[in-house]
Structure 1
Amino acid sequence: MNLRERLAHAHTIGDLRRAAQRRTPRGAFNYTDGAADDEISIRRARQSFADVVFHPSVLRDVATVNPAVAVLGQPAGLPFGIAPTGFTRLMHTEGELGGVSAAAAAGIPFTLSTMGTAAIEDVARTGRSISASARTWFQLYIWKDRARSIELIQRAAASGMEALIVTVDVPVGGRRLRDIRSGMTVPPALTPRTIMEMLPHPAWWFDVLTTEPLAFSSLDQSTGSIRALFESMFDPSVTLEDLEWIKQNWRGPLVVKGIQTVGDAVRVADAGADALVVSTHGGRQLDRAPAPLALLPKVVSSLRERGSRTEVWLDTGIMTGADILAAIALGANFTLIGRAYLYGLMAGGRLGVDRAIEILRSEIERTMRLLGVSELSQLSHDHVSLMQRSDSF
């Protein structure tokens, strides 16, 4: 059975996750799959989607459905894009170039992380080679060395990247116990433990050892423990004034990622953000953080009451097309996927990402029909409610 045939047997993102786990050594898989401390935040995020109750409309013409949306004033073929993810070639050597190729082919945006393992210029060029209308975005951490931040902004602009996503929930790196316990380093070190892990994962190790060495294209320091790398780079002194400074130096759409309170959503919108992302960083920073889906309606309501036109996006915990539609029904303009994309990448490179996008597309279209909507704009609070639990997030 060839790779395409194996991927065709994956019917859900969960199936791709299991395929990824079989193919990938434990350290690399756990980096993707894991979260901070006791991993409560990611469980809460996923539980909030499980608590969704759909209320379908019937006797509607849904012979044809259109899952496209407008985001930042431009069309996207589906109501999700690919979130910024670090160390991506660690999961599969095709890395970001495989991801942006699949995204461009599907007509959805792709975001390159500051911690990316492909150059800004290469990602933008690869996207355009697939589609002249490819949409590429760049995610920025505000560095202690502000000159390095400006350098990255200038490179993103010169490469034709459309939007800048500033992540603001990382004053320090979260404590990811799976990585600490596995002794994960970048690039992977040949230790007795990793040599033993080669045996059940020969294809992964062959790729890593015979392709371009793993490095972070935006960083000077590209080896060592993940925690040490974070601590040398992230700046705990960043404030709203720094966001305003970024806005002065970036002429395109500005998105702020990592909003976890209504108050911060208002502050960021008032500061001129074109969009904000209600997100807990995939549960990888602060443990016991609020579930983004549960917070989403409050953020949307507060901004709309103030007359704000700032778009509200959501990420963290999305594993199905139904999850995405629940977020749209509760007021999100758009969503981002991280792990769901990486599971596909680990399972089969570019072809695995294609399969992940196709799974989500199929689930979105089927759920739209079952809800009785032919356009995403028809979704509303009437279509969804959240089960009430004794614990409030």
Structure 2
Amino acid sequence: MSKPVCLDDYEAYARQKMAAPHFGFFCTGAEDEVTLRRNKEAYNELIIRPRVMVNVKNIDLSTSILGQRIKTPICIAPTSNHRLAHPEGEKATVRASAAYGTCFCLSSYSNYGMETVVKEATKVDPNSLQWFQLYVDRDRKVTEQMVRRCEKAGFKAIVLTVDLPTLGRRLTEERAGFKLPDFIRFGNFQDEHSGRGPNRHFGYDVDATLNWKDVSWLKSITNLPIVVKGVLRGDDAALAVKHGAQGIIVSNHGGRQLDHSPASIEALPEIIEAVRGTSVEVYVDGGIRHGSDVFKALALGARAVFLGRPIIYGLAYNGEDGVKQVLSQINKDLTTTMTLAVTHIQIGFCRMYFHQSDHS
């Protein structure tokens, strides 16, 4: 294959380089994969209406999230098991993120522990930004201990996943009989060098009774800002605000849990409207493969976007350098789109950039 020139090319390379079951773990979606496909297809239905005759010589992609400056609005989403893609796993990914000056959100089920990952980031940039994705365990003491470790390690926000009271069915995995290989460890539950940690399906012991009061509880035990991940409805966004969330990630879990849910970009305008007049920031993930996708999300009001699968594919392609290449490619694409659309970044810079029949 020739040198990759777009994010889809990295997926093709990853398919070749990774063991088939490991690639399948990342690429598959729930059931018939309707939502998985819809996440990408929905972006194609938004048609950009460019301006002309505006000075766009110097496009600046830098922005801030929860008061922290980042060089680009393209951040790295929490995904588990980076070592399925590359031996250095999250260590390589976070170094690339730190070098690129963006935010890396570490999964609870990372293969390296949070302290190890932050240490790798600070080698590159002591001021680099990391958030931590959290599941609330049935044992609240386990959750509180995890939060304390986050605070001590230097994470700047807790990203609470709220859309996973149980695991969705991924038929491709079931047919393949997917199992994690023996070399996989879960460093946030146990020393990553000594054992696998709780083996409750990826160490999974999330509380199905989780409700909005738990967001208030979480906020009561930490001064870190709480970002709620997995919201697709305006009424839920309003409840997130009511219970103290300072950020919302509009997400359907990459189409991996509930099939036939809306694409994240389709849900974004409703969430933006629900938090209007508040200081709550809104982000989005799912289906983003082009700079034009990022442009559309920002135009509809997202403060930043999060990339999941493409980062894994870059990691599989060439480790830390592969992740850097993915980030470089999509940031170049975003700069090109903004230059051709003739605009500078301004959050929610508006629907006039879209054809009225597509988003009214």
Matches within 5 A, 1:197-216: 213-216=183-186
For residues 157-196 of structure 1, what are the structure 2 equivalents within 5 Å? 157-187=151-181
Q: For 1:271, which of 235, 243, 250 is the aligned residue?
A: 243
Counterpart mapping for 1:54-133 below 5 A: 54-133=48-127
Question: Once the two structures are aligned, what percentage of the paired residues are identical?
Answer: 31
How far apart are residue 108 of structure 1 and its match? 0.1
The DSSP-based 3-state class of the residue aligned with 2:275 is helix
Aligned residue for 1:206? none
CA contact (8 A) 1:60 1:373 kept: yes
- Whether 1:299 aligns to 2:266 is no
SS in 2 for 1:186: coil
Tell me the distance in 2 between the aligned counterparts of 1:139 and 1:387. 37
Distance in 2 of aligned mates of 1:113 and 1:386: 38
For residue 27 of structure 1, report the CA deviation from its aligned partner: 0.5
The one-letter code sitting in structure 2 at the alignment partner of 1:235 is D
Aligned to 2:222: 250
Is the partner of 1:53 in helix, strand or coil? Answer: coil
The one of 208, 211, 222 equivalent to 2:196 is 222
Aligned Cα root-mean-square deviation (Å): 1.9
Contact 2:6 2:329 in 1 (8 A): yes
1:63 positional shift: 1.2
Q: State TM-score, norm by structure 2.
A: 0.94
Equivalent residue for 1:35?
Answer: 29
1:343 maps to which of 313, 323, 326: 313
Work out the CA distance in 1 between the residues paired with 2:219 and 2:79: 23
Match of 2:284 among 308, 311, 314: 314
| Pairing 1:143–2:137 present | yes
Residues 52, 386 of structure 1: 8 Å contact kept: no
Distance in 2 between the 1:332 and 1:73 partners?
Answer: 15
Unaligned runs of 5+ residues in structure 1 are: 1-5, 189-212
Give the Cα separation in 2 of the matches to 1:329 and 1:378: 5
The whole-number CA distance in structure 2 between the counterparts of 1:223 and 1:162 is 25
2: CA distance, partners of 1:232 / 1:322: 36
Instruction: Name the structure 1 match of 2:211.
Output: 239
TM-score, length-scaled by structure 1 = 0.87
CA offset digits 1:188-210 (Å, max 9, x no partner): 5xxxxxxxxxxxxxxxxxxxxxx
Tell me how many residue pairs correspond in the alignment: 355
Aligned 8 A contact 1:51 1:386 in 2? no
Using the alignment, how far apart are the partners of 1:309 and 1:42 within structure 2? 31
Inter-partner Cα distance in structure 2 for 1:123 and 1:385: 43
Match of 2:4 in 1: 10
Instruction: Tell me if the contact between 1:66 and 1:376 (Cα under 8 Å) persists in the aligned partners.
Output: no
Q: Secondary structure at the match of 1:185?
A: coil
**2-side partners of 1:176 and 1:386: how far apart?**
36
Contact 1:135 1:162 in 2 (8 A): yes
In 1, the alpha carbon distance for the partners of 2:150 and 2:278 equals: 27
CA distance in 2, matches of 1:300, 1:84: 22
Structure 1: which amino acid aligns with 2:307?
A: I
SS of match in other structure, 2:230 = strand
Q: Deviations over 1:232-286 (max 9, x none)?
A: 5121111111111111112111100000111100000111111001100000111
Q: Is the 8 A contact 2:75 2:307 kept in 1?
A: yes
Shift of residue 42 of structure 1?
Answer: 1.3
Q: Amino acid of the residue matched to residue 371 of structure 1?
A: A
1:174 to partner: Cα distance: 1.1
Q: In structure 1, what residue type is equivalent to 2:339? A: R
